[in-house]
Amino acid sequence: MFLKSYYGIKPVIPRLLQLAIRRIRACVKLRTHADVWPIDEKTAIPPKDWTGWPDGKKFAFVLTHDVDTAKGQERTRHMADLERELGFTALYNFVPERYPVQEELRNYLTENGFEVGVHGLNHDGKYYNSRAIFRERALKINRYIKDWGSVGFRSPSMLHNLAWLHDLEIQYDSSTFDTDPFEPQPDGVGTIYPFWVPSGNGKAGYVEIPYTLPQDFTLFVLMRQRNIDIWKRKLDWIASKGGMALVLTHPDYVNPENGRNGPEEYPLKFYSDLLKYVQQKHRGEYYHALPKDLAKFYSENHENG
Ligand SMILES: [Zn+2]
């Protein structure tokens, strides 16, 4: 109920006021949810049929980005180049009907070993308001998935209804999280592993891959953290449990000059520090994969229909 009313009035509330309201709510939740965020110990139980990561690696390390705006798209290439220089690869999700998604950029990414995915249609909060709306949008989303050669999807604002996602022609979805009380739809899936979502209607199922490191927006914009200590702590914990460390950041909020232009930006250095940290502290221990490859690995080894 709250969700519908919030998204109903959201367009008329100025952005900075929205941010102030969200910051107050985050402060309260930080105190009331300290036992389940950033770490919920209950999420570390491996799936029943779990046989471990490829090549005997200890944990998985996956990088994903949601490019929410045209500004984020302008910053995408710089971010991807940084990842490439450090020896990483990542998924970039674009919003097909919110800004003109550049074909040249999509090609640049895929030609250089990155992955491109679909992030809703226009990034409003109405996808799950009714079954009819979702069905109608799914038809359009499927066209972009096909045109872009994508196999995965992520909902705007992490809204989710896993049963409805069978409308999409996907091999995986990544619209959920292990634990994140700061999200508008805060029900986490309670695991730091991928899992299979069977369709039950004769269609193929798909792999769900939740994000497991707190989002950049939550840490650096809402909570105004000035370091990456929470990322490091969660990463080390996931590594110790053998789970999947899945990072979700937004080029929209990253200041490429390492400054902070306004209340909604954080320095690119925070992100590169995370990449260097995993390389130094966990060298040789992690399975670094694109979501599409991780989903393939999981469905080949664990698909139980
Ligand atoms: Zn988004």
Amino acid at site 20 = A
Local confidence band at 303 (pLDDT 50, 70, 90 cut-offs): low
Ligand 1 centroid to residue 286 C-alpha, Å: 27
- Ligand 1 center–CA 60 separation, angstroms: 23
Span from the CA of 157 to the centroid of ligand 1 (angstroms): 5
Give the rounded percent of residues in the chain with a pLDDT score beyond 70: 94
- Please, what is the average pLDDT of the chain? 93
**Alpha carbon of 58 to ligand 1 centroid (Å):** 30
Which whole number is the average pLDDT over 75-85?
Answer: 97
Which of 6-10, 45-49, 254-258, 283-287 is most confident?
Answer: 283-287
The per-residue pLDDT for 67 is: 98
Q: What is the mean pLDDT of residues 73-82?
A: 97
**Which is more confidently placed, 261 or 271?**
271
Question: Which of the four pLDDT bands, split at 50, 70 and 90, describes residue 8?
Answer: low
Decide if 242 contacts 46 (C-beta within 8 A): yes
Mean pLDDT for the stretch of residues 127-151: 97
Query: Predicted confidence band at 204 (pLDDT cuts at 50, 70, 90)?
Result: confident
> Crossing angle of helices 229-241/268-281, nearest 10°?
30
Neighbours of 213 (CB within 10 A): 28
**Hey, is 141 helix, strand or coil?**
helix
112-136 pLDDT, tens per residue? 999 999 999 999 999 999 999 999 9
> What's 211's DSSP letter?
B
pLDDT value of residue 263: 82
What is the Cα Rg of the chain in Å? Answer: 18
Q: How many CB atoms lie within 10 A of CB 45?
A: 14
Distance CA 289, CA 242 (A): 15
Give the residue among 71, 40, 302, 60 at the shortest CA–CA distance from 196.
302
Residue 191 has pLDDT above 70, yes or no: yes
CA dist., res. 131 & res. 75, Å (int): 35
Q: What is the pLDDT of residue 200?
A: 76
What's this model's pTM, rounded to 2 decimal places? Answer: 0.94
- CA of 304 from ligand 1 middle (Å) equals 31
Place 154 in a pLDDT band, splitting at 50, 70 and 90.
very high
Query: Mean of the pLDDT values across residues 78-97?
Result: 98
CA of 285 to the centre of ligand 1 (A): 30
CA 156 to centroid of ligand 1, rounded, Å? 4
